[in-house]
Amino acid sequence: MRAASSLVVVLLVLITVWTTGACSSGSVGSYRSASVRQTLAHSLLKNPRVGLANFHVSGRRDSATAMDNMRQAERGAPSMRSSYQRAPGGSVYLDIQMLWGMHYLTKSGWSYRVTELAGGSHSKKSSHYRGLAFDVDYINGVKVGRGNRHLRGFMWKCRQLGAREVKGPGTPGHSSHVHVEW
């Protein structure tokens, strides 16, 4: 709880700086958004409701697992993409709106495990490669699949938090995970 309340304080300060428009130069602007990304990544790494896979479902090993990606964001670095199969390699900054969404999901009581952020191999022009999507394979401790009773509520909440695309069982290629995209 202490970590949660200190996060709120940090974010309130950041929001105050924003709304008062204390600084207006572009470089300071990107510095501010970097701080928000780092703060959110730090909070998500500590959040017991968020699991971050330290492996790829494909079995490939690299520095682009969900856990790696979040640690890179916490350091203020871009997150690594994989470079196998269709994955293009390189790196990308995780989207701040997506990180907010991940944070607010837990505030609404959801817990989930993230299997991929920017890493892994997805379809050719996947939004994962742009830092805009995450995949989930467990919701409230239950494996994602057609019979998962948490599925509908979780997917609804993602949309309510601004995700523009949410796909799960019933969509080809998504029988065992939910794709959430900002």
- Residues of the shown chain interacting with Zn ion in the complex, contacts defined by CB under 5 A: 133, 135, 179
* Residue at shortest CB range from Zn ion: 179
Name which of 39 and 98 has its Cβ closer to Zn ion: 98
Please count the residues of the chain.
Answer: 182
Whether residue 122 contacts residue 87, with contact meaning beta carbons closer than 8 Å, is answered with yes
Name which of 73 and 114 has its Cβ closer to Zn ion: 114
Name which of 39 and 44 has its Cβ closer to Zn ion: 44
At its nearest, how many Å lie between Zn ion and the CB of residue 140?
A: 19
At its nearest, how many Å lie between Zn ion and the CB of residue 14?
A: 29
Name which of 39 and 114 has its Cβ closer to Zn ion: 114
Name which of 39 and 116 has its Cβ closer to Zn ion: 116
167 contacts: CB under 8 Å, gap ≥ 6: 174, 178, 179
Instruction: Round to whole Å and give the CA distance between 107 and 160.
Output: 13
At its nearest, how many Å lie between Zn ion and the CB of residue 179?
A: 3
- What are phi and psi for residue 98, nearest 5 degrees? -65, -45
At its nearest, how many Å lie between Zn ion and the CB of residue 132?
A: 10
Q: Which H or E run contains 165?
A: strand 165-167
Displacement of CA 76 from its chain's centroid (Å): 15
Instruction: Round to whole Å and give the CA distance between 36 and 91.
Output: 19
At its nearest, how many Å lie between Zn ion and the CB of residue 134?
A: 7
Instruction: Round to whole Å and give the CA distance between 168 and 110.
Output: 16
